[in-house]
Amino acid sequence: MPDRLLLDDLLLSRAAVDRAANRRADENWQLQRLADSKTRVLWVAKGVAAVAEGEGTARLVFSSAADLNSSIEVSFLGIDDDGIAYFCAHVENQNDAPVQADWKSLREVGRSLSDIDAGLLVTAVALDNWRASTQCCAKCGGEVVSQHGGWSLRCVADEADHFPRTEPAVIVLVRDQDDRALLGRHVNWPPGLVSTFAGFVEAGESAEAAVRRELTEETGVVIDDHLDAVQYLGSQPWPFPASLMLGYHAWAKETTIKVDETEIAEANWYSRDELRAACASGELKLPSSISISRRLIERWYGEELPADWSW
C-alpha cells in the first residue's frame, strides 16, 4: 500500500520568516523599517546572492538599510520571530552591493543554508527573476514601476497591475509491480546522469492528469488507472525561473519503455540493488539533494543516499 505521509525534508520548501503580506501595501510602515538599524538587506544580482561559505555551511551576508540609495529597488521579504524585517536589494552588478562576500547561486548553496536563509533566498531569487523577465507591460508595452513592496509592477500608461507568476510542474518517480524505479536521461545530459520525470501542467489540465500524460509521452510507460496509482507527496518552489514542483510517486500498469528521443534519450527500470551498484561504481549519478527529484528517489529507496552519488 502507498505511504500517505508527505515529504518533510524538501530543502527549498523551508521557511522561517513570516511573509507579512498585509504590510506590502503599507508604504509608511516599510519606510519606518528601512530606517530601522535592525533591518537586514539581502543583495541579489542576476540570480546570485551575497553569501559567506564555511566548511560545509553557508550563510547569507546582509547589510543594513542605511547602505541603500534611491536608485536601488528593493522587495520586502518578511519578518522573523524577533520582529526583524528583511528586504532584498536588486542590483545589476555585484560591485553595486556594499558587502564583501562570495556570490553564489541557490543551486550552489541552498542545501547548506539555515531554514531562515533558505526561505529568504528562494523568495528573493524568484522575485529577482520575475523582475528581470517583466521589463514592460504585457498589455501595451509601456513602462512598469514597482509597487507593494516589490510584489507587483504597475504600468505607467494604462495602470495594469502585473504580479509574480508561478508555473505548476509535476515531477514523478514511477514504480512497477516489482517495486523497481523508472529513471531516465534527458537528451541534453551526458551519459550516466539520470533523474525522475517532469513536465509542466498544461492549460485546463489537472496535476494528476499531467503526471499520466508526461510519463506516457516521454517514456511510453502507462500509469495504472486505479485511484491510488498517483500519490501526491509534496511541493517545492524551483525559481529557475518560476516553477512550483509538485512531487508524486506513481505505479505503472504497462512497463514497456519507448522513449520519445525528443526530450528523453533513455530510460530504465532499477531495483534498489541495481541502483546502488550503478551509483557506487560511478556508472550513474543522481540529482543533488537540493532537488525534489532526489527526495522522491530516496523515499522509494528507503534511506538517504550518499552525497557523492550526486551530479
Q: pLDDT tens digit string along 135-193? A: 999 999 999 999 999 999 999 999 999 999 999 999 999 999 999 999 999 999 999 99
One-letter identity of residue 291 = S
pLDDT score recorded for residue 11 = 87
What average pLDDT score do residues 117-129 get?
Answer: 96
Cα 41 to Cα 67, 93, 127, 150: the distances in Å are 9, 16, 14, 14
List Cβ neighbours of 282 (8 Å cut-off, separation of 6 or more).
192
CB atoms within 10 A of CB 6: 12
What is the sign, positive or negative, of the torsion defined by CA atoms of 220, 226, 228, 230? positive
What average pLDDT score do residues 191-211 get?
Answer: 98
Q: Are 109 and 290 in contact (CB under 8 A)?
A: no
Of 220, 153, 137, nearest in space to 184 by CA: 220
pTM (2 decimals)?
0.92
**Backbone phi and psi for residue 159, each to the nearest 5 degrees, phi listed first:** 60, 25
**Backbone phi and psi for residue 280, each to the nearest 5 degrees, phi listed first:** -65, -35
Question: Residue 303: which pLDDT band, with cuts at 50, 70 and 90?
Answer: very high
One-letter identity of residue 258 = K
pLDDT score recorded for residue 9 = 78
Q: Which domains does the chain have, with CATH numbers?
A: 11-133 (3.90.79), 134-164 (no CATH), 167-309 (3.90.79.10)
Q: 38-86 pLDDT, tens per residue?
A: 999 999 999 999 999 988 899 999 999 999 998 999 999 999 999 999 9
